Structure 1
Amino acid sequence: MIKRPAQRVAVLIDTQNMYHSAKHLYDAKLNFPGIVRAATEDRQLVRATAYVAKSKTGEELSFFEALVGGGIELRVKEVLEFSSGVKKADWDVGMAIDAVKLADKVDAMILITGDGDFVPCVEYLQAKGVVVEVIAFGASTSSELKGACDLFIDISEEADQFLIRSSGRHKPHGQKQMDKDVIGSVINNDRKRPPKRK
């Protein structure tokens, strides 16, 4: 798939999904502004939005500031705590609705998530003529999502570029250290798409 400089691109970030994947696989955090810059390249960025959850303690405020400082808009939802002790702040529906609203304003949509719940959203966007790219960790990404999108980029192959590791931690859990020069693993799903409306 060819990425053209004239392409209008939106980036939607499922921060909860990606945070937990990075923590589980690498015991690290992600450099979301760096991922957005690399993903959009020379294309025209229409919007970059991160869907985040805010706790009562406000411990994530410095993270929010880093996102905003990197040019990423925030959609914030309060974490709900149930009597059972379960905490929840699910953004899947909100993120999918925003993707649908943006469909007429972009040529390509980059979803930074590994969540298979977004497959119907991907299919809707493609039916509208939008090219859908997914960026996530291959090991924790739904196989259905990988198969549905037009382009899947496994950021595990670029871990050194996009991970913020705590000091002394160099190797991902259960995996060999990645070579920083390795080019990202890409699945290109070329198939006939309806042409983008003018």
Structure 2
Amino acid sequence: MKLSAFLKAKHDDRERVQIFIDASNLFKSVAEDCGGQRLDIGKFADLLSNKRKMVRIYYYVSTLDATLPGNKEKAAGQQRFINAIREIPYLTVTTSKLRYKKIEVDDTSKLVPFEKGVDIRIASDILTGALRNCYDTAILVSGDGDFAPVLEEIKRSGKQVENAAFPSSRSDALINASDLYIELSAHDLKDSLFTPKKHIIKSRTASTSSKSS
């Protein structure tokens, strides 16, 4: 289902949702599909909750090593972004350090970054939330098919699962394991996209939830 159609659908405003965002996967998709713009996480979460009760947003990100050559400015920019989204009500940022491995390319050494442990943390938090009855619906923002068995287990616990991803990063395994697939696009997200200098954090749903909790 396209995001535009999803937003027109009616939902029970008592339905509790938690959103789990695989930042690395989302960042790459936005860069590829949205012309290098950034996504306002607060507004994005509002769209996905779609007038339902947003309990919490979990944002999982692997941070750059600022001590490596060429990383200082990028790491500083990443940290500013992380500090900014921490101001969004009911958002939890979980960070882990990017790991690096040395590879040889044309007789020269190159450090290649990779994530470790992020998938396990996401899976653990989604499952724990289901077992503790923290939500009625889990919304996973990722195109990583490795999460499919986790989503199947969540459904067996009586919870609903939605998967949001761009077509360029979608996973058939995830889509098949979900109750609903929300197809993201630059057009449907145009009001949530920004260039870094114009970034303003505002989360309407999260603010509303704080009054109703």
TM bin, normalised by shorter chain, reads: 0.7 to 0.9
- What displacement does 1:24 show? 2.0
- What displacement does 1:165 show? 4.9
TM-score (norm. length: structure 2): 0.72
In the TM superposition, what are the counterparts of 1:185-196 in structure 2 within 5 Å? none
- What is the aligned partner in structure 2 of residue 105 from structure 1? 134
Whole-Å separation in 1 of the counterparts to 2:190 and 2:41: 13
- What displacement does 1:83 show? 3.2
What is the DSSP-based 3-state SS (H/G/I as helix, E as strand, rest coil) of the residue aligned with 2:93?
A: strand
- What is the aligned partner in structure 2 of residue 88 from structure 1? 114
1:42 corresponds to which of 37, 51, 59: 51
- What is the aligned partner in structure 1 of residue 192 from structure 2? 162
Kindly provide the CA deviation profile for residues 62-100 of structure 1, in whole angstroms up to 9, marking residues without a partner as x.
Answer: 110222122321001011122331212241111011100
Whole-Å separation in 2 of the counterparts to 1:117 and 1:29: 26
The 1:166/1:33 distance shift into structure 2, 3 A limit, reads closer
Structure 1: runs of 5+ lacking an equivalent: 168-198
- Rg larger for: 2
TM-score (norm. length: structure 1): 0.77
In the TM superposition, what are the counterparts of 1:121-136 in structure 2 within 5 Å? 121-136=150-165
Whole-Å separation in 2 of the counterparts to 1:111 and 1:20: 16
The structure showing larger relative contact order (alpha-carbon pairs under 8 Å, at least 6 residues apart) is: 2
Give me the CA root mean square deviation.
1.9
Q: Aligned pair 1:61/2:79, yes or no?
A: yes
What is the DSSP-based 3-state SS (H/G/I as helix, E as strand, rest coil) of the residue aligned with 1:81?
A: strand
Counterpart amino acid of residue 161 in structure 2 = V
Counterpart amino acid of residue 77 in structure 1 = S
- What is the aligned partner in structure 1 of residue 144 from structure 2? 115
- What displacement does 1:166 show? 7.6
What is the DSSP-based 3-state SS (H/G/I as helix, E as strand, rest coil) of the residue aligned with 2:102?
A: coil
2:179 corresponds to which of 121, 125, 150: 150
- What is the aligned partner in structure 2 of residue 21 from structure 1? 29
Cα pair 1:155 1:162 within 8 Å, conserved: no
Whole-Å separation in 1 of the counterparts to 2:134 and 2:102: 42
Which stretches of structure 1, 4 residues or longer, exceed 4 Å deviation after superposition?
none
Q: Aligned pair 1:9/2:36, yes or no?
A: no
Counterpart amino acid of residue 156 in structure 2 = A
Q: Which has the higher helix share?
A: 2
- What displacement does 1:142 show? 0.7
Aligned pairs, how many? 167
Kindly provide the CA deviation profile for residues 101-152 of structure 1, in whole angstroms up to 9, marking residues without a partner as x.
Answer: 0002211001111111111111011111111011111232012212221111
What is the DSSP-based 3-state SS (H/G/I as helix, E as strand, rest coil) of the residue aligned with 2:14?
A: coil
- What is the aligned partner in structure 1 of residue 39 from structure 2? 30
- What is the aligned partner in structure 2 of residue 190 from structure 1? none
Identity %: 26
What is the DSSP-based 3-state SS (H/G/I as helix, E as strand, rest coil) of the residue aligned with 2:86?
A: helix
Counterpart amino acid of residue 114 in structure 1 = G
- What displacement does 1:7 show? 1.1
